[in-house]
Amino acid sequence: MSINRRMFLGTSAAAAAVLAAPMVKADGHGKPRVVVVGGGAGGATAARYIAKDSKGEIDVTLIEPSRMYYTCFFSNLYLGGFKEIEDIGHSYGTLASGGVNVVHDWAIGVDRDAKTVALAGGGSVAYDKLILSPGIDFVEGAVEGWDLSAQNAMPHAYKAGSQSELLKAQLMAMPEGGTFAMVAPPNPYRCPPGPYERVSMVAHFLKNNNPTAKIIVADPKPKFSKMALFQEGWADNYDGMVDWIGSDFGGDKVSVDPNAMTVTIDGEVTKVDVCNVIPAMKAGRIAELAGVTDGNWAPVNAIDMSTKADPDVYVLGDASQQGDMPKSGYSANSQAKVCANAVRGALTGSKVFPAKFSNTCWSLIDTNNGVKVGATYEATDEKIAKVDGFISATGESAELRKATYEESEGWYTGITSDMFG
């Protein structure tokens, strides 16, 4: 987790149980201490399960700077007009009342020898087991002409909250017949179908509010998740609006000029009205500061999500390099429950169950037009390995697509309850 992670807009009054500084464990209690950094789908789930299942036997501290967490999943539906920003915002009060000591601060360093986490506000928190779930940061220089100083002119909106609101405002202010551009990310990245669901939701909004507008997608990849499903959906619902330019046609040769509001694709300069730049990604900064990354990501052991670098430090979700699972909220939540069970077993001697994982990614193409892809996974000595999978088919009935969308709504309610209580 870096200082620029999740620049969310808006806060809520913290519940009384949510503390502004870490609780110091009383001398003589002798309880094992778990510190979790990052309060998203991985971290919040791990903290909640360890606190709940240990029944007070483990002191659990969650370090998260934001008082409101806005889910990246379903944030595209906000752009499309299917959700309000409040619908994807969640506070930590219930988690705190369930026995988790929530500290709203930045984790800025890890001393693995002393087993402490340093806080931006001063002081440190001691741990016996450390779980890092910091999400993603962006690779510097990944898109020529763009860095974080340009995120107001050309938002990424890949850390939900204020960036989502900014992109929505820009979308609403587009001139009639204007151009929306997206620079898509290279693999691997958070939520593989995410950029293309976003294209669909932007197209849905424009079809209803600015029907002569155009969408250009510059993509460094030759193909993408659910490609046939999205392209079918764009042809059926947004005919002629979306121009996807893959690497075979120069989509990997891109630069931007935030001041001039231009995008250059394979030498061709285009003036645009809105530009959504989604750069290459890497593990949240705190994973690197903790010394558990190798390249852009943190390699972990599939059996419990412990890092290859340190058996007492675990990495969940987007920041981890674990094998076959995609970087998604569902994956992080699934990994967190495996990790929580293993950590509780290591600290209290409770039963540890074999590691099993699952993931499903739903996407909305148009009203009641939902599609999905998913799989189950198992832990091997080498990685988290895919066992079997499924994907929606092209040409499905409207009834099935509506049922798939309704299924995603139920999942959202379920996972956010699983994360925050």
Compute, in degrees rounded to 10, the torsion defined by CA atoms 347, 117, 416, 375: -70
Delineate the domains of the chain, giving CATH numbers in brackets: 33-137+281-352 (3.50.50.60), 141-277 (3.50.50.60)
- Burial-class residue 287 by CB neighbours within 10 Å (0-12, 13-18, 19+): buried
Cα separation of 238 and 231, whole Å? 10
Looking at 14-18, 106-110, 272-276, 336-340, which range is the least confident one? 14-18
pLDDT of 11 reads 29
Distance from first CA to last CA of the chain, Å, rounded? 23
| Cβ count within 10 A of residue 86 | 10
pLDDT by residue (tens digit) across 321-356?
999 999 999 999 999 999 999 999 999 999 999 999
SS3 track for 323-378: ECCCECHHHHHHHHHHHHHHHHHHHHCCCCCCCEEEEEEEEEEECCEEEEEEEEEE
Q: For tokens 């609403």, name the residue.
A: 172
The pLDDT value recorded for residue 242 is 98
Question: Across-strand partners of 324?
Answer: none
Question: What confidence tier does 16 reach under pLDDT thresholds 50, 70, 90?
Answer: very low
Report how far residue 330's alpha carbon sits from residue 314's, in angstroms, rounded to the nearest whole number. Answer: 18
**111-140: pLDDT as tens digits:** 999 999 999 999 999 999 999 999 999 999
Using one digit for the tens of pLDDT, what is the confidence trace for 65-96?
999 999 999 999 999 999 999 999 999 999 99
For the cut 60, the answer to whether the pLDDT of residue 29 exceeds it is: no
- Regarding beta strands 214-218 and 242-245, do their DSSP bridges make them parallel or antiparallel, or are they unpaired? parallel
Alpha-carbon dihedral sign for residues 315, 318, 319, 325: positive
- Condensed to tens digits (0 to 9), the pLDDT of residues 191-250 reads 999 999 999 999 999 999 999 999 999 999 999 999 999 999 999 999 999 999 999 999
Buried b (16+ CB within 10 A) or exposed e, 310-321: beebbbbbbbbb
| H/E stretch holding 186 | none
- Structure tokens belonging to residue 259: 């001041």
Q: How would residue 6 be classed by pLDDT, with cut points 50, 70 and 90?
A: very low
Strand, coil or helix: what is 34? strand
Q: How far apart are CA 189 and CA 194, in angstroms?
A: 10
Overall average pLDDT of the 296-308 stretch? 98
DSSP label of 25: P
Predicted confidence at residue 1, as pLDDT, reads 35
Confidence of residue 34 (pLDDT cuts 50, 70, 90): very high
Residue 27 has pLDDT above 90, yes or no: no
3-class SS at 24? coil
Structure tokens at 382: 């080498």
- Residue 354 confidence (pLDDT): 96
